[in-house]
Amino acid sequence: MVRIAIGSDHAGFRLKEAVKSRLAEQGIETIDVGTDGEASVDYPDYAAAVAGKVTSGAVDRGILVCGTGIGMAIAANKVRGIRAALATDVESARLSRTHNDANVLTLGARITPPDLALDMVQVFLDTPFAGGRHQRRIDKISALESEGGTRAPR
């Protein structure tokens, strides 16, 4: 059973709740790091909380929701070991798993209709990483992290 951490800012709160309900219907328990309402908060705080759950191994995958999904993706990808993918269509959600082994999905509640977001979550959770040549590329991403992100092509 896949373990999920979920978080949002105020803009993503309602969609976060919808995703949580859908997962609960399937018997999938989520660790909800907040936020707990529509009062204005700062999305990096929630990105950091979900990213921490993923990198510590407390959960297998993370889901983050803000207005566009962009801020959550930028923030989560600052955390070593996180591969956060912003998806706005089902095929991108699928490919984020098969090609990129994404461990966090970010969603834009002001961009993506709830039904589409729920479909993307389903595909994100159901799709395995393809490995093979894609693993080599993931290894290169990890190498960039361990070099502190300072290597630039010459």
68 near ligand RB5 (CB under 6 A): yes
What number of residues does the chain have? 154
Sequence-ordered list of residues with C-beta below 8 angstroms from that of 18, at least 6 positions apart, any chain: 114, 117, 118
Q: How far is the CB of 106 from ligand RB5 (least distance, A)?
A: 9
Q: Are 15 and 65 in contact (CB under 8 A)?
A: yes
Give the HSE-up count for residue 27: Cα atoms under 13 Å, Cβ half-sphere: 1
Adjacent-strand bridge partners of 63 = 6, 105
Give the active site residue among 14, 83, 94, 99: 99
Indicate if 134 belongs to the active site: no
Q: At what angle do helices 90-98 and 114-126 cross, to 10 degrees?
A: 20
Q: Which stretch binds ligand RB5 (CB under 6 A): 21-29, 51-59, 63-71, 119-127?
A: 63-71
13 near ligand RB5 (CB under 6 A): no
Nearer to ligand RB5, 13 or 124 (CB): 13
Indicate if 99 belongs to the active site: yes
x/- contact string, 34-53, with ligand RB5 (CB under 6 A)?
Answer: ---------x----------
Nearer to ligand RB5, 11 or 19 (CB): 11
Enumerate the active-site residues.
66, 99
